[in-house]
Amino acid sequence: MAGSAEATQLTDQYRRQQLALRAATTRDLQTIWPLFTGSDESFASFTEAAVNLVLQRHSTSSGLASAYYTRFRAAEGVAGEIIPRIAPRIGIGLIQAALFATGLAGTRRAIGAGQTLGEARRTGLVQAAGAASRLVLDGGRRTVDDTVRADPKARGWVRVTSGQPCAFCAMLASRGPAYKSDRTSRFQAHDHCACTSEPVFEGSELPATTRRFEQLWRESAAGKDDQLNRFRRALAEQTGQAAVAAAE
């Protein structure tokens, strides 16, 4: 967790803002998805509209992250000022490629697996929405990442997950702060990913979930073979136990 209650609240608020943005993007994609009727030509029409949507929401995500970083830094009592580094505009070609690889290709794969066109289109929409939401939220992730790298007072950033993240995200969160001098510290996200990042300054504490994942990794996977699968099984067991405890 952050070093102050106010900063902790800011992280929670920022996370909810990004998730609301993701939800709005999915709803709007559903609105324009009927442009795709199954043909390559109709998918091109959908993609044209979807690209503009992703560009707009990527910019919004970056703006939310910029405001969050400034307020979070002040709440942590960090002296001086830093101008947030807004994420660069995402490439149109990258958006198009992601949509084709999920929406169109996903629909075709579903048809090949025996689904009707209607069923396959619904499958394609789910996959396209996952890719689009990842690209949108990457605006905020990249903004925090780049600002941390430029901020002389920042130690790095820590991954903030949902209450029940997938094993991949929990594994990355278990590593704690991603230090800005590390070339591998770029935020890794998958389609449908709901993770955000929180800056780490001197005096900041790691989130409780991060400490829990770190301990679980040490106990179940560190120094062993097939680490991710070992960690995945341990996480599933722990999550199941937590659910049982909560129900009692």
- C-alpha 97/C-alpha 105 separation (Å) is 11
The mean of the pLDDT values for the chain is: 91
- C-alpha 47/C-alpha 39 separation (Å) is 12
Per-residue b or e along 179-201, where b marks 16 or more CB atoms closer than 10 Å to that residue's CB: bbeeeebebebebebbbbbbbbb
For helices 40-75 and 117-150, angle between their N-to-C axes, nearest 10 degrees: 30
Mean pLDDT value across residues 145-154 = 94
CA-angle at 56, arms to 59 and 39, nearest 5°: 135
Residue 130: closest CA among 103, 107, 112, 110 = 103
Q: What is the pLDDT of residue 221?
A: 87
Judged against a pLDDT cut of 50, whether residue 216 lies above it is answered with yes
Judged against a pLDDT cut of 70, whether residue 246 lies above it is answered with no
Q: Give the tens place of pLDDT for each residue, 110-128.
A: 999 999 999 999 999 999 9
Quickly state the pLDDT bin for 241 (edges 50, 70, 90).
Answer: low
Q: Give the tens place of pLDDT for each residue, 157-170.
A: 999 988 788 999 99
Q: What is the pLDDT of residue 104?
A: 98
The Cα-based distances of 124 to 31, 61, 107, 134, 207 in angstroms read 14, 24, 5, 16, 36
Quickly state the pLDDT bin for 245 (edges 50, 70, 90).
Answer: very low
Backbone torsions φ then ψ of 35, nearest 5 degrees:
-60, -25
Bridge partners for 154 per DSSP? 201
- C-alpha 142/C-alpha 134 separation (Å) is 12
Residue where the block lists tokens 């169109």: 104
Query: Which strand (E) or helix (H) includes residue 83?
Result: none
| C-alpha atoms less than 13 angstroms from C-alpha of 154 in its C-beta half-sphere | 28
Judged against a pLDDT cut of 50, whether residue 51 lies above it is answered with yes
Q: What is the DSSP-derived secondary structure letter of residue 77? A: T
| C-alpha atoms less than 13 angstroms from C-alpha of 62 in its C-beta half-sphere | 19
Bridge partners for 196 per DSSP? 160
